[in-house]
């Protein structure tokens, strides 16, 4: 069996250069009025981007650029052109469930997987429409390895969608994830793979990696509440031994671990355990910030989702929700000041996919990030975290041709990033208004 596979591979490798010679890659030229290339600290005016096949071949000033004969020319001379954006924290298998419609639980209890996958394919399309040409989708919420399937369908060209980095099922502990609150006698599904002990933790990571996880996602905190003094407290989940087993296994595969962690014990275990990215990080204390700088840990703050659906102000949940928002901004400011590496992420799916993903940008800018830095958190830096420096998140020779455009000037008003009018992914135009 092995022999015949390698034979087929050699045959394919021999064929492909001939096929390439017979049908030369199409060439597209984009005229950019203003170009934010992802790398430079300032935009450039009147640039010409040459795209050959699915790669950017050259970027040069309009006067000096030679237009290859036979090229398709796309005129974006009245727009701001930037690299395809990257949302580092999405959930295509969540739809911003509202309690009145059954909330989270009904997804796992009543909807067939195919129904959820169909909706996930719509979410994926929504990301692409909005100029997010890459997403790191951080768990399927009980839909198993559905993200691997959606990713395959996108790559095979059956459905439109962004490039996907997937984590599959995610990992937490007993008592560390919904579904919850059912009679103990009734077995209900969980939104994650539950592990207890370092052996189970390592095994879950192995299974998920074996089944296509590009990253591993771990929940290091779960419930959160206010203590008597009004401080935000969150329940830690995995022990240090458990998270260390997962990180050790995952790093051995050359992959990375994303840790959902709000604050306190769980946050510190995540960092001591060698987590690669802290998700949410609502309340980063000084020691955590210092450790993140030292270890090069990424911070994916996901501000937007915490501004959605605050509980009523006079309830314990409402007070807690407001406290979360109140500590989040200062954490971001602290991280920026210390030089923590920050990536753009929204937790979309936690709020409906009908809302704009780019709503995250104004939150980042509100707390002192420059619009250019905010854009780079969704391009250059996100690509770096994903191990795709030079390939994604930049408009530069050799990079994948993931290119978007917005009317207006997002460096003046980042809300302009909600008005994406042009999307090219992998050299193919998906949207042109
Ligand atoms: Zn999330």
Spatial separation of the C-alpha atoms in residues 356 and 93, rounded to whole Å: 17
Task: State in Å: Cα 350 to ligand 1 middle.
Answer: 7
Task: State in Å: Cα 423 to ligand 1 middle.
Answer: 25
Which one-letter DSSP state was computed for residue 367?
Answer: T
**Pairing of β 163-166 and β 171-172:** unpaired
Closest CA to 375 of 423, 413, 337: 413
**Pairing of β 422-425 and β 403-407:** antiparallel
pTM of the model: 0.94
Spatial separation of the C-alpha atoms in residues 381 and 85, rounded to whole Å: 11
Task: State in Å: Cα 112 to ligand 1 middle.
Answer: 22
Task: State in Å: Cα 349 to ligand 1 middle.
Answer: 8
Tell me the Ramachandran region of residue 274: left when phi exceeds 0, alpha when psi lies from -120 to 50, beta otherwise: left
Task: State in Å: Cα 90 to ligand 1 middle.
Answer: 6
Task: State in Å: Cα 254 to ligand 1 middle.
Answer: 23
Phi then psi dihedrals of residue 271, to 5 deg: -70, -45
Q: What is the pLDDT of residue 416?
A: 98
Both tokens of 240, joined, read 């240090």
Are 395 and 383 within 8 A, CB to CB?
A: no
Task: State in Å: Cα 48 to ligand 1 middle.
Answer: 38
Spatial separation of the C-alpha atoms in residues 122 and 132, rounded to whole Å: 14
Cα angle 277-281-287, degrees, rounded to a multiple of 5: 90
Q: What are the distances in angstroms from CA 55 to CA 258, 288, 340, 376, 426?
A: 29, 39, 31, 20, 7
Task: State in Å: Cα 19 to ligand 1 middle.
Answer: 43
Both tokens of 9, joined, read 């591979």
Task: State in Å: Cα 220 to ligand 1 middle.
Answer: 12
Task: State in Å: Cα 403 to ligand 1 middle.
Answer: 26
Task: State in Å: Cα 259 to ligand 1 middle.
Answer: 10
Phi then psi dihedrals of residue 137, to 5 deg: -95, 115
Q: What is the pLDDT of residue 369?
A: 98
Task: State in Å: Cα 421 to ligand 1 middle.
Answer: 27
**Pairing of β 163-166 and β 215-219:** unpaired
Both tokens of 40, joined, read 């430079």
**Helix or strand holding residue 60 (H, E):** strand 55-61
In this structure, the number of other CB atoms found within 10 A of the CB of residue 104 comes to 18
**Pairing of β 27-35 and β 44-52:** antiparallel
Q: What is the pLDDT of residue 108?
A: 96
Spatial separation of the C-alpha atoms in residues 155 and 426, rounded to whole Å: 10
Task: State in Å: Cα 160 to ligand 1 middle.
Answer: 23
Are 224 and 232 within 8 A, CB to CB?
A: yes
Task: State in Å: Cα 370 to ligand 1 middle.
Answer: 25
Half-sphere exposure (CA, 13 Å, Cβ side) for 307? 14
Task: State in Å: Cα 135 to ligand 1 middle.
Answer: 12
Q: What is the pLDDT of residue 18?
A: 44
Task: State in Å: Cα 77 to ligand 1 middle.
Answer: 37
The residues with which 400 forms a beta bridge, in sequence order, are 55
Please provide the DSSP assignment of 97-124 as one string. Answer: --GGGTHHHHHHHHS-HHHHHHHHHHHH
Q: What is the pLDDT of residue 22?
A: 56
Task: State in Å: Cα 153 to ligand 1 middle.
Answer: 23
Task: State in Å: Cα 346 to ligand 1 middle.
Answer: 8
Task: State in Å: Cα 223 to ligand 1 middle.
Answer: 14
Task: State in Å: Cα 345 to ligand 1 middle.
Answer: 9
Provide the residue count of the chain. Answer: 433
Please provide the DSSP assignment of 128-152 as one string. Answer: HHTTEEEEEE---TT-TTHHHHHHH
Task: State in Å: Cα 304 to ligand 1 middle.
Answer: 11
Task: State in Å: Cα 91 to ligand 1 middle.
Answer: 7
- Taking the CA atoms of residue 388, residue 394, residue 397 and residue 403 in that order, the dihedral angle to the nearest 10 degrees is 110
Strands of 227-312, DSSP E: 232-236, 256-261, 277-280, 298-300
Both tokens of 226, joined, read 């206010």
Q: What is the pLDDT along the chain (433 residues), one digit of tens a residue?
A: 444 444 444 434 434 444 444 578 999 999 999 999 999 999 999 999 999 999 999 999 998 878 899 999 999 999 999 999 999 999 999 999 888 888 999 999 999 999 999 999 999 999 999 999 999 999 999 999 999 999 999 999 999 999 999 999 999 999 999 999 999 999 999 999 999 999 999 999 999 999 999 999 999 999 999 999 999 999 999 999 999 999 999 999 999 999 999 999 999 999 999 999 999 999 999 999 999 999 999 999 999 999 887 889 999 999 999 999 999 999 999 999 999 999 999 999 999 999 999 999 999 999 999 999 999 999 999 999 999 999 999 999 999 999 999 999 999 999 999 999 999 999 999 999 9
Task: State in Å: Cα 142 to ligand 1 middle.
Answer: 13
Please provide the DSSP assignment of 232-256 as one string. Answer: EEEEE-S-HHHHHHHHHHHHHTT-E
Spatial separation of the C-alpha atoms in residues 127 and 345, rounded to whole Å: 12
């Amino acid at each position: 069996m092995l022999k015949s596979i390698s034979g087929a591979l050699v045959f394919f490798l021999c064929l492909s250069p001939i096929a390439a010679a017979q049908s030369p890659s199409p060439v597209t030229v984009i005229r950019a009025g203003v170009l934010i290339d992802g790398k430079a600290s300032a935009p450039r005016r009147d640039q010409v981007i040459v795209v050959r096949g699915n790669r950017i071949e050259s970027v040069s000033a309009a006067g000096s650029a030679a237009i290859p004969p036979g090229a398709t020319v796309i005129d974006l001379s009245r727009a701001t052109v930037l690299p395809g954006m990257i949302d580092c924290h999405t959930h295509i298998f969540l739809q911003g469930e509202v309690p009145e419609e059954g909330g989270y639980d009904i997804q796992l209890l009543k909807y067939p997987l195919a129904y959820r996958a169909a909706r996930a394919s719509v979410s994926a399309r929504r990301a692409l429409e909005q100029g997010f040409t890459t997403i790191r989708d951080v768990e399927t919420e009980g839909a198993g390895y559905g993200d691997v399937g959606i990713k395959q369908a996108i790559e095979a060209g059956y459905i439109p969608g962004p490039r996907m980095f997937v984590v599959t099922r995610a990992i937490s502990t007993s008592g560390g994830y919904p579904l919850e609150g059912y009679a103990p006698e009734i077995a209900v599904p969980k939104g994650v793979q539950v592990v207890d002990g370092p052996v189970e933790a390592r095994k879950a990571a192995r299974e998920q990696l074996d089944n296509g996880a590009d990253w591993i996602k771990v929940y290091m905190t779960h419930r959160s509440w206010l203590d008597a003094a009004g401080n935000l407290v969150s329940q830690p989940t995995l022990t240090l031994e458990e998270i260390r087993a997962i990180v050790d296994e995952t790093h051995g595969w050359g992959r990375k671990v994303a840790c959902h962690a709000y604050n306190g014990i769980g946050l510190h275990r995540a960092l001591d355990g060698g987590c690669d990215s802290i998700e949410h990080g609502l309340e980063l204390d000084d020691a955590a910030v210092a450790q993140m700088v030292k270890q090069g840990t990424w911070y994916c703050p996901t501000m937007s989702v915490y501004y959605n659906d605050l509980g009523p102000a006079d309830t314990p949940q409402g007070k807690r929700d407001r406290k979360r928002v109140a500590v989040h901004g200062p954490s971001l400011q602290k991280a920026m000041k210390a030089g923590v590496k920050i990536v753009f992420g929204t937790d979309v799916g936690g709020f409906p996919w009908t809302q704009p993903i780019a709503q995250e940008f104004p939150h980042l800018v509100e707390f002192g990030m420059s619009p250019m830095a905010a854009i780079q958190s969704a391009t250059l830096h996100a690509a770096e975290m994903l191990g795709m420096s030079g390939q994604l998140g930049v408009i530069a020779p050799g990079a994948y041709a993931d290119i978007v455009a917005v009317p207006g000037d997002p460096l003046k008003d980042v809300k302009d990033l909600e008005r994406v009018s042009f999307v090219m992914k992998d050299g193919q135009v998906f949207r042109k208004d």
